[in-house]
Structure 1
Amino acid sequence: MNFARLKLRHLQCLVMVAQERNLVRAAKALALTQPAVSKTVAELEDIVGRQLLVRRRRGVELTPAAEVLVRHAVVALRGLRDGLSLALDQPEADQLRVAVGALPNMAANLLPAAVALLQVDAPALRVRVVSGTNAQLMTQLRQGEIDLVLGRIAQASAMADLAFELLYSEPLLLVARPGHPVAALRRPTLDALSAYPLMVPVSGTLIRHTVDAFLLAQGMAPPRSLVEATDTSFALGLLRCSDAVWFAPQGAVEGFLAGGELVRLPIDTSSTEGPVGMTMRRGSEPGEGARRLIEAIRSVLSRRAEARVSRPPPARQASRRQARRRSGPSAGTAGTRAA
């Protein structure tokens, strides 16, 4: 191996390809062309004397040699960044930091609440939120680019060297804009959705497998119009201007349901329920920044649980409202007579 030929760009390129598992996406992230990325990887393979990538129809796979090299490259690049920060005497070099990968159900609900709590309890903590598919985030977690991942548990094949802590379970929901024709039906069936565009998670993701299994089990024919998306902003924009129906994680939409921006279609999707929690590297203690974020997440969940316990059931709330309406006029009349 000729170390004299090894350049920083070789390691940066390999790490990005390992994260994206796709040469085109890696090139876009690096602001390079795809041929330039291929050439850089080929140079690195020549330097180390090993094949690093296996080309597939839908992307690339890392060889065992590449997996080892990537792990060490990530450590080396991170050490170089930290060293540069210290050398330049930047004040933020000593600040607490945490990088967290968040799937849409966490990014729209629990994580913002936890970060808001952190801003009060630990205002100097710098938080970096990374989005992506489950597979992408797990790769970055394993390589040390992020400290933990929040969302549904990954497939068993992707959990090697990783540990999952369950926080709660949630189903996927079918949601649409207020006033959607299906929302007005008393007991709609899945067949009622066939006339409208159906928005689902992108192919290859864990929750897309859940959606496909649910539709197959229910005997629903493939919809005429299918939209694949994971971006919440796009999904909301499409629902606002069309009759599309979104198959979404509960955590990603419950705030919009509570605010009246979306409505849940009365179709039973309870069989899509799955575990949601935190994934971390097995056998390694989280850093101080990650530890504080984890404490904030648990605190938010504890407060919400206490609020649910203290809140009366919906039926009791309704009876109380009715009682107040009945007692209101008579109490006013009694007060007038007493006066």
Structure 2
Amino acid sequence: MRAIDLLNGRLKLRHLVLVVAIADHGSVLRAAEHLHLAQPAVTRSLREVEHILGVELFTRGPRGVTPTLFGDAFVEHARAVLAELRRAGERITGLADGDVGTVTIGTLLAGSNVLLPRAIATLKRSRPGITVVVQEATFDAQVPRLLDGEIDLILGRLNPIEDVRGLRQITLYSEPVRLVARLGHPARSRAGLTLEDLLDYPWVLPLEQTALRRELEQMFTGAGLVPPANLVECTSVLTVRTLVRDTDMIAALPELVARTDAEIAPLPVGLEAVRRQVGVTLPAQRSLTPSARLMLDHLRQRAAEIYDLVDDPAGA
């Protein structure tokens, strides 16, 4: 197959939709059910795609199908094409009628509990026809979807992007990260409390692939300490707050997240080495849809109001 063969009209949009559906559902049958098609029609269309490409896209097994090396590559491009077509439709609709559209936001822990709800609320008051989709995951999991166009922006604590091409970042405000525990935690009665003292208790930490987890481990190493071995790994803010509130676990939380529960409070052990910038990560080369641009405007406006809520505002 030559690359030009993909442009001769034999490969259809329905082929892309079908291949992505099979990859997402891991089964021709489940993909057929999702697309409201008969299974033989889906099987026939898959064979058409594989014939056009001249390669096998999926290996069949007793429990479904698994993408081949060629399948993984083709699905990646198919997702990007479909995402761009969706964005084109949203942009045309947005240009024709600025009151409708969809913006999809990938969220991290910081910024998700105060900034984002405020920005969504003001956006919806002015443009009630815009649909806002919020999806929570780690930064590493969000980046491919941002680059593919499945999400419009990532909001949260800014992660290093030097090794990822095609991204740009905007800082919205600066928010300290605090070590927190429940109000009645036994560590609070220890005089001259140190980071080493806190290793006597269980911890709840972000997942290993997060920048905050790496920075916390570097903090322990820099202090000549071994990171906690008795720990739970979690990025769900509700689960983290409940564990801290109901047990002797210690966690590192953005200040505004820590303030939302009256039964937990910061400990007198600083985290000066941990980065504090909260902002948005955007695709560098792709323009935002009208809905996403409006969302970014409201995030900027609400971030300006948050300066008074944190101890270390951006630019201080």
TM-score range, shorter chain: 0.7 to 0.9
Q: 1:248 to 1:182 in 2, by over 3 A?
A: same
CA distance in 2, matches of 1:150, 1:48: 38
Shift of 1:123: 2.0
Partner of 1:22 in structure 2? none
Residues 153-172 of structure 1 aligned to structure 2 (within 5 Å): 153-156=158-161, 159-172=164-177
Partner of 1:70 in structure 2? 76
SS in 1 for 2:219: helix
Which of residues 120, 125, 131 is equivalent to 2:130?
A: 125
Q: Which region of structure 1 is more displaced relative to structure 2, 108-117 or 245-254?
A: 245-254
Q: 1:162 to 1:3 in 2, by over 3 A?
A: same
TM value normalised by structure 1: 0.68
Residues 52-91 of structure 1 aligned to structure 2 (within 5 Å): 66=72, 70-76=76-82, 79=85
Q: 1:49 to 1:122 in 2, by over 3 A?
A: same
Partner of 1:10 in structure 2? 19
Q: 1:187 to 1:160 in 2, by over 3 A?
A: same
**Relative to total residues, which structure has the larger helix share, 1 or 2?**
1
The one-letter code sitting in structure 2 at the alignment partner of 1:12 is A
The one-letter code sitting in structure 1 at the alignment partner of 2:21 is Q
Shift of 1:158: 5.0
The one-letter code sitting in structure 1 at the alignment partner of 2:306 is R
Q: 1:155 to 1:123 in 2, by over 3 A?
A: same
Larger radius of gyration: 1
Partner of 2:292 in structure 1? 290
Equivalenced residue count is: 274
Indicate conservation of the 8 Å contact 2:206/2:235, yes or no: yes
Indicate conservation of the 8 Å contact 2:176/2:310, yes or no: no
1:234 matched to 2:239: yes
Partner of 1:253 in structure 2? 258
CA distance in 1, matches of 2:101, 2:11: 34
1:243 matched to 2:248: yes
- Relative CO higher for 1 or 2, CA cutoff 8 Å, sep ≥ 6? 2
Which string of whole-angstrom CA distances, capped at 9 and with x for unpartnered residues, describes residues 248-291 of structure 1?
233432333xxx23110110111112432111111222111111
Structure 2: unaligned runs, 5 residues or longer: 2-9, 32-42, 59-65, 90-96, 312-316
CA distance in 2, matches of 1:108, 1:144: 24
Which of residues 166, 184, 208 is equivalent to 2:189?
A: 184
Shift of 1:200: 0.5
Shift of 1:157: 5.0
Shift of 1:181: 1.1
Which string of whole-angstrom CA distances, capped at 9 and with x for unpartnered residues, describes residues 61-92 of structure 1?
x9799557524433336647998xxxxxxxx9
The one-letter code sitting in structure 2 at the alignment partner of 1:270 is E
Q: 1:132 to 1:285 in 2, by over 3 A?
A: same
Q: 1:51 to 1:194 in 2, by over 3 A?
A: farther
1:268 matched to 2:270: yes
Which of residues 277, 280, 283 is equivalent to 2:282?
A: 280
The one-letter code sitting in structure 2 at the alignment partner of 1:73 is R
The one-letter code sitting in structure 2 at the alignment partner of 1:70 is E
SS in 1 for 2:217: helix
Shift of 1:46: 8.4
1:194 matched to 2:199: yes
Which string of whole-angstrom CA distances, capped at 9 and with x for unpartnered residues, describes residues 136-177 of structure 1?
111111110111111123333553111111122334321111
Structure 1: unaligned runs, 5 residues or longer: 17-25, 33-39, 54-59, 84-91, 310-339
Instruction: Give the percent of matched residue pairs that are identical in Structure 1 and Structure 2.
Output: 28
